[in-house]
Structure formats: structure tokens, C-alpha cells
Amino acid sequence: MVTALAVAAYSLRSSWSIAGWGLVAGFLTLGQLGELLRLPEKVIQLSPYVHSPRMPVEPFSSGAPIVLGTLAALLMMLASEGFRLRDID
């Protein structure tokens, strides 16, 4: 999901490639350190890493991975269209 967001940003404008690293850092911070930093639950839920099941501890449920995979596929298709429409000379 994060990779798809980064590719979509890059497909719009190559100078936005740094946004991909910012997304990775932000989502990891929210997912791993959100509770430690006492962030509100709504802010922590923005991270896609929070929604994937923690396999050894929790039983597997296929809902969240299917939704995240579908969103990632849609973003990659939009990014592909963005690359196609971009004029790179």
C-alpha cells in the first residue's frame, strides 16, 4: 500500500518521489510508536500497518489484507495511467 502511494506520487511529478519516503516514515511512526506517543486512536488508524493481522498472536482474518491489496492495485493502475500521460522528453 505504501509503495503504491509512493509510485502514484512519483507518477504525478518526479520531484514528489521524496513523498514516498515520508509516507513510509510517517506510517511506521504511527503504527509502531503511536501508542507510545499517546496519539489519538483515529490518528493511529491512518497507518496501513495497523490493519494487517499480527499472525502468531492473532488469528488470520482476510478482510483487511484484501482491502489493502485492492487499494494498492487501484493506486498502481492510477500510477500506470499517470506515467502513460506524462510527457517525458
How many domains is the chain built from? 1
CA separation for the pair 54, 60 (Å, rounded): 8
- Residue range of the domain that includes 12: 2-83
* Report field, pTM of the whole predicted structure over 0.75: no
Assigned C-alpha cell, 76: 498502481
**What's the confidence (pLDDT) of residue 88?**
65
Q: What is the pLDDT of residues 32-54, one digit of tens each?
A: 888 888 889 898 888 888 877 77
The answer to whether residue 89 sits within a structural domain is: no
The answer to whether residue 88 sits within a structural domain is: no
Give CA separation, 79 vs 17, 41, 60, in Å.
13, 30, 30
Number of other CB atoms surrounding residue 80 within 10 Å: 13
Residue found under cell 503511536: 34
Number of other CB atoms surrounding residue 47 within 10 Å: 20
pLDDT average, residue stretch 52-67: 81
CA-closest candidate to residue 86, choices 27, 2, 15: 15
